[in-house]
Structure 1
Amino acid sequence: MAERLKNQASAYLRQHAGNPVDWWPFGDEAFEEARRRDVPVFISIGYAACHWCHVMAHESFEDPGIARILNRDFVSIKVDREERPDVDSAYMAATQALTGQGGWPMSVFTLPDGRTYYAGTYFPPRQLQGTPSFSQVLEAVSGAWQDRRSEVERSAEQIAAHLASNQAANRNLLGNLTAAVPPADAGAGSAEALDAAVEALAAAEDSEYGGFGGAQKFPPSPLLRFLLAHASSGSLTAGTAAALAERTLMAMALGGIYDHVGGGFARYTVDRRWQVPHFEKMLYDNAQLLRIYAHYSRQAATADLKSLALRVTSGTARWMAAELGVAGGAFASSLDADTLVDGHRVEGATYVFTRAQLEAVLGAGSAALNLLELDADDGASHRLPGSTLRLRAVPDEAQARIWDDARTALAEVRSLRPQPERDGKVVAGWNGLAIAGLADAALALADAGLAEDWMLLAAEAAAGYLLDVHWDGRTLRRVSSDGQAQGIEGLLEDYAGAAEGLFALYAATGNTRWHNAAQDLAAAAVERFLGPEGLSDTAQEPEQIRQAQGGYTAANPLDDAVPSGTALLAGVLLSSSSYGGPGRHRELAEGLTAHVRRAGPAIPQAVGWSMAVQRFILDGPKELVVTGTDPDAVGRLLAAGRGAGGPGLVIAHGKADGVGLLQGRETQAPALAYVCRGMVCRRPVDSVPELEAELAAGR
């Protein structure tokens, strides 16, 4: 039994290799076994950092009695949602359709062809407050298969039809991508839609605590990218967008969702005040927020806000490198929510401090204690053994120094505690986002006089890992483990996410290796994911998933915690065309984001990244070429351009090898800067004030 899972790339699957349950990985063999035995399929979906996944594993999947039922009456499949988001997405839609809610662990029962007929999330080992026990569920679901097969078939058919209608709606939202958008019409209605989206967000904001909605609160990372992009535009709602972004970013930077001792962000908070996190830390969150705080630091209204943003940027990058870095230069997926203490999993045990513990480390009269907002009941209200650490207000320079000394002392104490486990699998798309974050963070810190050169080196190491391990020049693999690519081909979000990171790294370094590889990935993504039926999230969707979705291939343009593959691809294709790639790439970028004219005002939180790309399209996008023989002079112009150009600025510098935007613009002058749109450039300038004026003129 253990043989099937013990060598999987996913740490989550390997954690279950010793269960008495006869687990299979997701694949044709498992479903063929179900057909051969004439039994239904049980699909359990979770991920390594998930607290309740561990709970259900201990309560049920380690129980020999439950294992006997599963092994007798089902073929059981274990899925890591991070490794297989295509599987997770299809069955999450089914679970939500059946129960009205979703989450992990997800428990799905299907026919041998993959269609769902029953689903839920966590089931307890014993009946609890009206919730049936897991064994009761298993007996009922198996009994329905054996005794009421026709009802089961009808239920599966109805659920598949419902999911088919969802996929049809997604395709309708995307529209016909094969029809070229006339340049004169490409932006028609887009500016108004983006303004309306900002107004809708202002109405939905939690004006008291920042962010949008109530508990639970997740970082709205793709949306923040749009708000910062819009804030640097000349739109009438630019000021509103800037204020919305600032309030959310500062609330998170001060709150318990940010780890004020070790750096990095938790996945979400269970309350609306950003105080009490669910303690798992994900690469995809931190990679995006690293980049966002770096961009915000250039727009911050005061020196103290800028300083805090830069400290969060640096702290997040250092946490990523220290806690998620793997051999070869890439980044692992996550840290667990739980810590193993005396043989028991305790959520948040590594991170929280009681007041007595803080006073023991810092001293009872420490000025650092006055900077903190602590729970009066030492965490009793949320059943944690102490408080998460939160800052009362944005610190000034003197307070920041006090806290930095305190943070160092607390980090030393915390390092002696048991630490959470890590899911070491490397995900291509998330590493692309991490590369972009590190590249932009390195530049923001350097331009602020806080150079941390290691960040750019770390970005280059991760990029080299992706190209050496995941990409063979034709196919990108989604995951690797211990330096070996394993499992499925990358999804659309992987190709586009990797290219996004490589374009950002090229803009930071001028090294054409990264530019050329990004162009190759962009071309491969168009070839593999855009076909006669339109866009697809997968290059080769499993037949079982297609059956589950009523015969449709998935193409979801809406963001989740990570930007959608559609939105990422649109941004990559816009960058590709701006650097001199195929002109069709710009047309496709316009087509891939045309849906924001409808979706932006109606559901802005679901299309943040696409709205950011549409904002960049409306702005030109702005392109900056800097060439010259004096590295210092070139560097000054590049820094000025980054400061004045906004987050959508496309930057080309270095050798022209393969970069169309640089062709014919080499010079023997110390430094020249060209501001361009659509590769059509204005006269070159050679001073910082002239360049800043050129960039401001287009707003």
Structure 2
Amino acid sequence: MPNRLADATSPYLQQHADNPVDWWEWSPEAFAEAERRGVPVLLSVGYAACHWCHVMAGESFDDEATAAYLNERFVAVKVDREERPDVDAVYMEAVQAATGQGGWPMTVFLTPGREPFYFGTYFPPEPRHGMPSFRQVLEGVDAAWRERREEVAEVAGRIRAELAERAGVYGAGAGLAAPGEAELHQALAGLSRSFDPARGGFGGAPKFPPAMALEFLLRHHARTRSEVALEMVTGTAEAMARGGIYDQLGGGFARYSVDAGWVVPHFEKMLYDNALLIRVYLHLWRATGDERARRIALETSDFLVRELGTPEGGFASALDADSEDAHGAHREGAYYVWTPGELARELGEEDGALAARLFAVTEDGTFEEGASVLQLLADPEDVPRYQRLRERLLAARAKRPSPARDDKVVAAWNGLAIAALAETGALLDRPDLVEAAGRAADLLLSVHLSAHGRLLRTSRDGRPGANAGVLEDYADVAEGFLALYAVTGEAEWLGLAGGLLDTVLVHFTDEASGSLYDTADDAEELIRRPQDPTDNATPSGWTAAAQALLTYAAYTGSERHRAAAERALGVVGALAGQAPRFIGWGLAAAEALLDGPREVAVVGAADDPRTAALHRTALLATAPGAVVALGTATGESTGLQVPLLADRPLLDGAPAAYVCRHFACQVPTSDPAALAEQVGATRR
């Protein structure tokens, strides 16, 4: 019989609906049940595309004997970290503080009062490599709970106190001044020290795509002309694009590389990674004209629309790492890897041999059982033939059992996708991508946004989920709406972004320090209110909000929003020299603040090609965080008044562009070449 998770909206929770474990969703009722029974709570946190979550489920949660023991002595709570990032953040902080590491599946034992007292991640079914088995962990925790309850209570109380003490650190940092030239130079130096010049990226294995740090480096190069900054971007972008972390057939990036050379990925594909990387490659092309970067931006955009697009117009969260292999067994990477024999069978001997050389497929292989992850280590000499081989292999791969898709729509990640697709469509002459961004934005408006301006975190099949939006949802959706306004000139998007950011100021901001919380002041109370300005897999809500607030202030002249952005960026200065890899989005926002950011108002008739030429040049601006307003000479964008457009007349009857900083403007121009000089654009 299915358990309670059969009615969940989360695909991850539904994956556990047939476990013999008597799972509860995170709820007051679950903890009340633990209190009533006098037993501890097992909190298990994961997500649908998590490989080791699937492994532990098959080994332990599907085991009848283990489930029976668990049901008898615990209340088991299953959480999708992507639906409840607040729950995940609080207990992951405790796991990392106690063990020095974290990851998923996350396994935490709690008192009925929600206080953690024992931690771990994946536990095997039998003891191995120094790890106890999951059954041994259950037995040990049960014994401690029954026989040493006072000791458990002492540990739980101490952990809660330590978490509360950590909460004051970021607030103190937010009281500092926003980073200036010296701090940003320190960040560049710190990234240089950890940069891998031979293989790109930062640090060793495993390697994650450093999208947020690369965005900072691109902006730093634009502002300072630092060749060191640009070389780190170009080296990393090329290495990732040639490596196995990039899907050489279908486009799009896997979550990370298990090795230092980007060869073998962990094959899950996440919406947020790909949205962030689209913008990195697009902005690299904008800065340098790099054709590889242009190709990767387009291929990844097409992957997003083709494989993650939902019927309702949004974008699904992820594709799984696992799928069925030729023998019917579920195996990581089975959908993506090839042997020379498989290439020959699909393409014939001659083309198969050529494909093996092009994609570095060898008899020994680079992955399990002699299979190879496709790479493109050198550019093909015969590009048309390469494209034909690629298309044939993509069609052949489509006949394989495909990885499962986590089709819930997460507001924040869709905001990132909206920004990426809107910019890519506008700059690379792909109006279909702008339309895709608009459809996703419409879905967020109709399903995720309430009449009171509050966001819901998720939806599925067009039905809203029950969980309130967190800070990153408000910030990233605002970012997406602001990008849509810049591209389309439809000022409703600017107004909607302003409403979301007002909610950030009212419900997520600490007035005393200017620091930002991950959850609203009226959200469910956890053992502590989560707060963290550092980047993880995505930009932190804190720094994403700072960037969006700064952009909105540039459009509207709002000192309230600009001051909030500046206060929020104080903590970035404190972390710039210590941990630049983990504050990249904040550093990028600081670059925009230092540059102004530049405000570009383009006025002219919508159907005048001269207006379009100026608008395109403005969008090509490399000036950090430049904002672009498009409207008529009456101060109107489509539908609404926009302060940046106010009192901007045509120039001798011709469309004109005004480049400003803090609403103080240079001499207007009708010449795209002159505009390009003012905003650091290379006309393409």
TM-score by length of 2: 0.94
Question: What are the equivalent positions in structure 2 for 1:471-486 lying under 5 Å apart?
Answer: 471-473=449-451, 474-486=453-465
- The answer for the alignment partner of 1:378 in structure 2 is 365
Q: Distance in 2 between matches of 1:410 and 1:49?
A: 24
Q: Distance in 2 between matches of 1:645 and 1:636?
A: 16
Q: Residue type matched to 1:139 in 2?
A: E
- Among 182, 189, 204, the alignment partner of 1:199 is 189
Q: Residue type matched to 1:209 in 2?
A: R
Q: Residue type matched to 1:683 in 2?
A: V
Q: Distance in 1 between matches of 2:355 and 2:341?
A: 14
- The answer for the alignment partner of 1:566 in structure 2 is 542
Q: Distance in 2 between matches of 1:361 and 1:677?
A: 58
Q: Residue type matched to 1:421 in 2?
A: A
- The answer for the alignment partner of 1:683 in structure 2 is 667
- The answer for the alignment partner of 1:181 in structure 2 is none
Q: Residue type matched to 1:15 in 2?
A: Q
The question of whether the paired residues in 2 share the 8 Å contact of 1:352 and 1:384 is answered with no
Deviation at 1:228, TM superposition (A): 1.0
- The answer for the alignment partner of 1:324 in structure 2 is 308
Deviation at 1:636, TM superposition (A): 0.9
- Among 541, 565, 571, the alignment partner of 1:595 is 571
- The answer for the alignment partner of 2:646 in structure 1 is 663
The question of whether the paired residues in 2 share the 8 Å contact of 1:257 and 1:265 is answered with yes
Match of 2:428, SS? helix
Asked if residue 530 in structure 1 is aligned to residue 509 in structure 2, the reply is yes
Distance 1:166 1:385, change over 3 A: farther
* Structure 1 residues 622-661: Cα deviation after superposition (integer angstroms, max 9, x where no partner): 1111111253101111222233444521000033313111
**RMSD across aligned C-alpha pairs, in angstroms?**
1.9
The question of whether the paired residues in 1 share the 8 Å contact of 2:356 and 2:362 is answered with no
The question of whether the paired residues in 1 share the 8 Å contact of 2:629 and 2:644 is answered with yes
- The answer for the alignment partner of 2:608 in structure 1 is 631
Q: Residue type matched to 1:601 in 2?
A: G
The question of whether the paired residues in 2 share the 8 Å contact of 1:190 and 1:596 is answered with no
Q: Residue type matched to 1:687 in 2?
A: D
Asked if residue 415 in structure 1 is aligned to residue 415 in structure 2, the reply is no
Match of 1:6, SS? helix
The question of whether the paired residues in 2 share the 8 Å contact of 1:49 and 1:423 is answered with yes
Asked if residue 129 in structure 1 is aligned to residue 129 in structure 2, the reply is yes
- Among 220, 227, 252, the alignment partner of 1:264 is 252
The question of whether the paired residues in 1 share the 8 Å contact of 2:595 and 2:623 is answered with no
Asked if residue 354 in structure 1 is aligned to residue 335 in structure 2, the reply is no
Moved more, 327-336 or 96-105: 96-105
Q: Distance in 2 between matches of 1:31 and 1:102?
A: 24
- The answer for the alignment partner of 1:443 in structure 2 is 426
* Structure 1 residues 670-694: Cα deviation after superposition (integer angstroms, max 9, x where no partner): 3101001112222210111221232
The question of whether the paired residues in 1 share the 8 Å contact of 2:20 and 2:67 is answered with yes
Match of 2:224, SS? coil
Distance 1:204 1:670, change over 3 A: same
The question of whether the paired residues in 1 share the 8 Å contact of 2:557 and 2:644 is answered with no
- The answer for the alignment partner of 1:183 in structure 2 is none
Q: Distance in 1 between matches of 2:413 and 2:127?
A: 39
The question of whether the paired residues in 2 share the 8 Å contact of 1:368 and 1:402 is answered with no
Deviation at 1:164, TM superposition (A): 2.3
Q: Distance in 2 between matches of 1:202 and 1:384?
A: 37
- The answer for the alignment partner of 2:594 in structure 1 is 618
How many residues are treated as equivalent by the alignment? 667
Asked if residue 507 in structure 1 is aligned to residue 449 in structure 2, the reply is no
The question of whether the paired residues in 2 share the 8 Å contact of 1:580 and 1:660 is answered with yes
- The answer for the alignment partner of 1:425 in structure 2 is 408
Distance 1:231 1:375, change over 3 A: farther
The question of whether the paired residues in 1 share the 8 Å contact of 2:3 and 2:21 is answered with no
Q: Distance in 2 between matches of 1:82 and 1:513?
A: 29
Q: Distance in 2 between matches of 1:664 and 1:429?
A: 35
Q: Distance in 2 between matches of 1:345 and 1:647?
A: 46
- The answer for the alignment partner of 2:275 in structure 1 is 287
- The answer for the alignment partner of 2:159 in structure 1 is 159
- The answer for the alignment partner of 1:650 in structure 2 is 627
- The answer for the alignment partner of 2:469 in structure 1 is 490
- The answer for the alignment partner of 2:284 in structure 1 is 296
TM-score by length of 1: 0.92
The question of whether the paired residues in 1 share the 8 Å contact of 2:603 and 2:655 is answered with yes
Q: Distance in 2 between matches of 1:385 and 1:439?
A: 41
Q: Distance in 1 between matches of 2:391 and 2:62?
A: 40
Match of 2:457, SS? strand
Q: Residue type matched to 1:472 in 2?
A: S
Q: Residue type matched to 1:504 in 2?
A: A
Q: Distance in 1 between matches of 2:194 and 2:522?
A: 37
- The answer for the alignment partner of 2:65 in structure 1 is 65
Q: Distance in 1 between matches of 2:522 and 2:116?
A: 17
- The answer for the alignment partner of 1:579 in structure 2 is 555
Q: Residue type matched to 2:24 in 1?
A: W
Q: Distance in 1 between matches of 2:483 and 2:523?
A: 33
- The answer for the alignment partner of 1:390 in structure 2 is 375
Match of 2:169, SS? helix
Deviation at 1:7, TM superposition (A): 2.3
- The answer for the alignment partner of 2:29 in structure 1 is 29
The question of whether the paired residues in 2 share the 8 Å contact of 1:569 and 1:589 is answered with yes
Q: Residue type matched to 1:350 in 2?
A: Y
Deviation at 1:170, TM superposition (A): 2.4
Deviation at 1:162, TM superposition (A): 2.5
Deviation at 1:541, TM superposition (A): 7.3
The question of whether the paired residues in 1 share the 8 Å contact of 2:2 and 2:18 is answered with yes
* Structure 1 residues 187-211: Cα deviation after superposition (integer angstroms, max 9, x where no partner): 6x61111112111111110111000
The question of whether the paired residues in 2 share the 8 Å contact of 1:325 and 1:331 is answered with yes
Q: Distance in 2 between matches of 1:593 and 1:561?
A: 20
Structure 2 unaligned segments of length 5 or more: list them.
Answer: none
Q: Distance in 2 between matches of 1:409 and 1:263?
A: 15
- Among 230, 234, 239, the alignment partner of 1:242 is 230
Q: Distance in 2 between matches of 1:544 and 1:676?
A: 44
- The answer for the alignment partner of 1:150 in structure 2 is 150
The question of whether the paired residues in 2 share the 8 Å contact of 1:47 and 1:82 is answered with yes
Q: Distance in 1 between matches of 2:541 and 2:360?
A: 39
Asked if residue 314 in structure 1 is aligned to residue 314 in structure 2, the reply is no
Question: What are the equivalent positions in structure 2 for 1:51-90 lying under 5 Å apart?
Answer: 51-90=51-90
Q: Residue type matched to 1:429 in 2?
A: A
Deviation at 1:363, TM superposition (A): 4.1
Q: Distance in 2 between matches of 1:146 and 1:64?
A: 23
Q: Residue type matched to 2:339 in 1?
A: T
Deviation at 1:102, TM superposition (A): 1.2
Deviation at 1:327, TM superposition (A): 1.7
* Structure 1 residues 452-473: Cα deviation after superposition (integer angstroms, max 9, x where no partner): 2210100000000001100014
Deviation at 1:444, TM superposition (A): 2.6
Question: What are the equivalent positions in structure 2 for 1:32-47 lying under 5 Å apart?
Answer: 32-47=32-47
Q: Distance in 1 between matches of 2:166 and 2:44?
A: 23
* Structure 1 residues 253-298: Cα deviation after superposition (integer angstroms, max 9, x where no partner): 1110000101110000100000000000000101111111111111
- Among 492, 496, 504, the alignment partner of 1:517 is 496
* Structure 1 residues 307-329: Cα deviation after superposition (integer angstroms, max 9, x where no partner): 21111111111111111111221
Distance 1:570 1:400, change over 3 A: farther
The question of whether the paired residues in 2 share the 8 Å contact of 1:460 and 1:505 is answered with yes
Q: Distance in 2 between matches of 1:298 and 1:399?
A: 26
* Structure 1 residues 215-246: Cα deviation after superposition (integer angstroms, max 9, x where no partner): 001011111111111111135xx221111111
- The answer for the alignment partner of 1:461 in structure 2 is 439
Q: Percent identity?
A: 45
Deviation at 1:540, TM superposition (A): 4.8
Match of 1:595, SS? helix
Deviation at 1:582, TM superposition (A): 2.5
